[in-house]
Amino acid sequence: MDPVQETSKIWMNGELVDWADATIHVGTHGLHYGSGVFEGIRAYDTDRGTAIFRLTEHMDRLQRSAKLLYMELPYSTEELKAAAWEVVGANGLPECYIRPIAYFGYGQLGVAAQGNPVDVAIMSWPWGTYLGEEGMRDGIRVKISSWQRVGPNVIPHVAKATGVYINSMLAVGEATRAGYQEAILLTAEGTIADGSGESIFVVKDGVVYTPDLSASILVGITRDTIIQVAQDLGHRVVEKPLIRTDLYLADEVFMVGTAAEVTPIREVDDHVVGPPGPVTQELQQAYLDTVHGRSERWAQWLEYAPSRTEA
């Protein structure tokens, strides 16, 4: 992966600071214990200007993630949305990835977090395709991980918490060292959970399947988007537990996420599931048309910059 492309400003605790000055103390609680929550959001260039895809849902999920860590966010969803627009505007990029993060800050060390301040920052920078242009077009090769997905009684997996991502880091590292592009993790029960940073979909005999929310998966916003788009396009979508052989014998497999958008999978554990199939291609096209403002059908998910008079 390429190094992060620096932009001009980062929003930190209510103000815009220069990229180089957005630093934290080494005694920060979140660094020692992974006690933070974050989001990944994309802004797209459309005919009507920059649109942020499902911004409200992402900031609402950040609030829920914080709640699950008994962390009180000092900003409301509305304030966080305004802050996202502020940093996007300051950096002047028509398209970018947006990364809000909240963490227990500098104060007390020791695991108990409650005496620490909660710091909030929002970065924005250009982030191209997550799994490569070629992956988007031809599909990627994935491996089922030997690392199990964090379970509901280990860490609340519904929270997009920073510490949880050690799980993903190990899984994707194992997969890439073995020559694959991405990992898929199984739950403690042995069913399919998600990719290191994506939700999983399978197409078999014309039906679209995805693990239901009782599998320890992140409640993906792209997952929700794809379920609705697929249904609107007339596909039957079934949320149910899936096992690894469902992937090996699938007609089509693909993964979705804010960063990955809709990425086809062409091989799982060296079983060829084929080049990107018709359903994958249809949903990928619908998704990309929607986020870029080229399709009116699901235009309600695009949020535009508040006008100066409203702000």
- Give me the active site residues, please: 160
Interaction of residue 52 with ligand PPE, rule CB under 6 A: no
Least separation in angstroms between CB 128 and ligand PPE: 13
Binding track, positions 151-190, relative to ligand PPE; x by CB under 6 A:
-----------------x----------------------
190: left (phi over 0), alpha (psi -120 to 50) or beta: left
Query: Six-digit token pair at 175?
Result: 């997969």
Least separation in angstroms between CB 121 and ligand PPE: 15
**Which residue's Cβ has the minimum distance to ligand PPE?**
40
In a 3-state reduction of DSSP, which class is residue 165?
A: helix
Tokens 């997952």 sit on residue: 223
List 135, 220, 276, 277, residue binding ligand PPE (CB under 6 A):
220
First to last CA, the chain: 37
Query: Considering only residues 251-310, where is the footprint of ligand PPE by CB under 6 A?
Result: 257-260
Q: How many residues bind ligand PPE (CB under 6 A)?
A: 15
Least separation in angstroms between CB 256 and ligand PPE: 6
Residue 204 is given by DSSP the state E
Interaction of residue 36 with ligand PPE, rule CB under 6 A: no
Interaction of residue 86 with ligand PPE, rule CB under 6 A: no
Q: Which is nearer to ligand PPE, 107 or 156 (CB)?
A: 156
Q: Which is nearer to ligand PPE, 62 or 116 (CB)?
A: 62
User: Distance (Å, rounded) from C-alpha 213 to C-alpha 223?
Assistant: 11
Q: Which is nearer to ligand PPE, 116 or 227 (CB)?
A: 227
Q: Which is nearer to ligand PPE, 105 or 197 (CB)?
A: 197
Of 258, 292, 268, 262, the C-alpha closest to 135 is: 262
User: Distance (Å, rounded) from C-alpha 142 to C-alpha 263?
Assistant: 11
How would you write 237-300 as a 3-class SS string?
Answer: EEECCCCHHHHHCCCEEEEEECCCEEEEEEEECCEECCCCCHHHHHHHHHHHHHHCCCCCCCHH
Contact partners, residue 215, CB within 8 Å, separation at least 6: 149, 187, 191, 192, 193, 194, 241
Q: Which is nearer to ligand PPE, 85 or 165 (CB)?
A: 165
Least separation in angstroms between CB 273 and ligand PPE: 20
CA 271 to chain centre: 26
Least separation in angstroms between CB 21 and ligand PPE: 23
**Phi and psi (nearest 5°) for 181?**
-100, -25
Of 282, 306, 305, the C-alpha closest to 295 is: 282
Interaction of residue 197 with ligand PPE, rule CB under 6 A: yes
Amino acid occupying residue 123 = M
Q: Is the dihedral of CA 94, 11, 6, 177 positive or negative?
A: negative
Q: Which is nearer to ligand PPE, 131 or 250 (CB)?
A: 131
Interaction of residue 222 with ligand PPE, rule CB under 6 A: yes
Amino acid occupying residue 124 = S
Least separation in angstroms between CB 207 and ligand PPE: 21
Q: Which is nearer to ligand PPE, 116 or 256 (CB)?
A: 256
Interaction of residue 100 with ligand PPE, rule CB under 6 A: no
Q: Where along the sequence are the contacts to ligand PPE (CB under 6 A)?
A: 40, 168, 194, 197-199, 218, 220-223, 257-260
